[in-house]
Amino acid sequence: MATISTHVLDTVKGLPATGLTVVLQAQDGAEIASVVTDGDGRVSDVAGDDLPTGVLRLVFGTGAYFAARGVQAFHPEVVVSISLTEHRHYHVPLLISPFSYTTYRGT
């Protein structure tokens, strides 16, 4: 089965985005897991090792993260749809600021 990890960095502060909620959803929007980034902005295992291949969505709570820090953000959430095509590990880094974000397939 497939596994997913993530690492979120706040590029304005140049620090990990700690305490940011990440929700993993099936393609139909059903919640599979909900986790919070650790002190290093990481989640090493979003939902265990029982994920099937197919399309899933990672929903990052960027609006709540920035609001908790007194910053108004343009994106209330960042949704990253990913296609798990193999039974392997997938790493999804996210770089955030109040007005932009960047993601890529990591290793």
7 known member of a binding site: yes
Q: List b or e across 34-68, with b for residues whose CB sees 16 or more CB atoms inside 10 angstroms.
A: ebebeeebbbeebbeeebeeeebbbbbbbbebbee
> Which residues are part of a known binding site?
7, 42, 104
In the annotated binding site for substrate, the residues are 7, 42, 104
